[in-house]
Structure 1
Amino acid sequence: MSEQQASGQPAATASMGGARVAFLGLGVMGYPMAGHLARAGHQVTVYNRTVAKAQAWAAEHGGRAAATPREAAQGADFVFACVGNDDDLRSVVLGADGALAGMREGAVFVDHTTASAEVARELYTAARTLGLHFVDAPVSGGQAGAVNGVLTVMCGGDAAPFEAMKPVALAYSRAVTRVGQAGAGQLAKMVNQVCIAGLLQGLSEALAFGQRAGLDVKQVLEVISKGAAQSWQMENRGATMADGKFDFGFAVDWMRKDLGLVLEEARRNGARLPVTALVDQFYADVQAEGGGRWDTSSLITRLK
């Protein structure tokens, strides 16, 4: 065990200049996030289950595409991942071809997947057993935030690897904050999703009420957005909700996955979430209407 490992310090820090990084998962979030890392001067190797997508990214950004997560992680200072769920995450982290098998001593794995706090703690323990570091770091800001490099990142894990990864993650973020130990980042993301679900249901009811009352709801939104009712959802989704446009943004299918994690955690810790559980069922109604890929603001369609 090295002196750095014994003291809990990651073997590399971003202050050394352009870091060697890997990025696993090139979906609507991961593809632009990895691009920001390349533009920031880091040496980026990517992995994606669909090989052609990884090759396209490499051709566009000048990085390298790897055949397995293990290959992508070899020699990297930081390994970032943004995949679909707990099982997807385990598949790129664990096993003979997983990233942990290829990472060098003291390297840091940063998980941007919205997953369970349970899997974050599991993988943190697996990493530490191998002399590696794991930071759970789910993001908020959606596809637009990823493309524009202005995501908000909520992190759980040890302080030293968090401080090492923070300057690198700022390539695609406007805020990277440690909120506690392993799993805390995922729990903070759950808080975020509870807030969004409640806000969107309230905004949906308000707009539907205003339309029924014969108001010019866009004018009303302009007025009330200057006061206490203001929110990001109102500013960015109010007008499109009024126009019935939902073919963009954060999909209902993804929100239901996230709210499933929230409700499972609530059953575990005893939190009472009656409104969240109700809105989750409202989203199930939207899915039944064929709106699984509509933006989460499509809750208003239930009220038309």
Structure 2
Amino acid sequence: MNSELRKKDCAACAGKFARITLSLLLIASAASLLAIPAIAAENVSDTINITVQVGSKTIVVIDPDTLSWTGAQAVDPGREGVSKEIQIENMGSTNITHLWANTTYETAPPFGTGVAANYNAGNFVALSKTNGTSDYYYFVNRVEYNETHPDIYLTLPASWEGYGRFRDGGKEYFWAVVPNTNCTDGTFYIGKEPHNETQSGTVDISACDATLNDSSGGQACRSGTLTPNAEGTWGYALQVYVGSNAEYHNYSVSVNADCNTTMFSHWNKDAPGGTAAGSHIDYLSSTTLYPGAAAIMYAKVKVAYGTAAGNIAQGQLTIIAESA
């Protein structure tokens, strides 16, 4: 009997030992797993070359795309509108070396018609590179037609063919042209003092200083010979001082062959005679405008005396860019 009990105890001990051994093996196995270090992440890469050639493209953009002087900003005759900024941006890929401008104008004399739509808003536009309180805004290409009624108080040069007014907002300067072969090689006359609401200005333009860019002459007006353009359709003077000897502004003046249209231009290389050296008075910009760069200019409108009330026909300002 004791022998049987010992056999049972040994069997129980063997099972218990087996269980303990298995448990130890499991613990050891788990411990060995925990002891294995984690495999580090590895990044690999490769590189390819990127080559781009940018096409040569000149793009110039003006913003905003509309300027208006209406409603509370409506402009009275003989006055100037408020100054507005325009941004000229080089959105192309070439260097812009020069900027100049064109504006639209009437195709027939609008004054004396009483119809606002006969005027073109482009003919009112004047530009400046700066916006100081005393800065003068130059017309791009102000077009004037011969007077449609007689001005009895004027003394004109002998053999005159046409005369009129340079309407610079609240100032009007009387001018006249005397033809030679025709008006492309004629003589241009312009008074120094303006006509306005309170003064007559220079009304005798029959005997003037002999050059159009003289700021020291003793006469009340200036005169000079026009040069025909290559096509023989316009005569021009490169530098015409408009104003008194003490305060004047520099324009190019062009008169057509028929003596009935006169243009006062400043920022416009495309004006008659513009291909002649130095005929355009100034560029809007002659500083290189690199791709992605922009220039700021300032615009006003100058409304002449005698402009009919109402909505003027819409006009356009165009900026031209020349690239290197």
Whichever structure has more helix as a proportion of its residues is: 1
TM-score by length of 2: 0.24
> Which fold has the larger relative contact order, with Cα–Cα distance below 8 Å and residues 6 or more apart in sequence?
2
TM-score, structure 1 normalization:
0.26
Q: Going by fraction, where is strand more abundant, 1 or 2?
A: 2
Q: Which has the larger radius of gyration?
A: 2
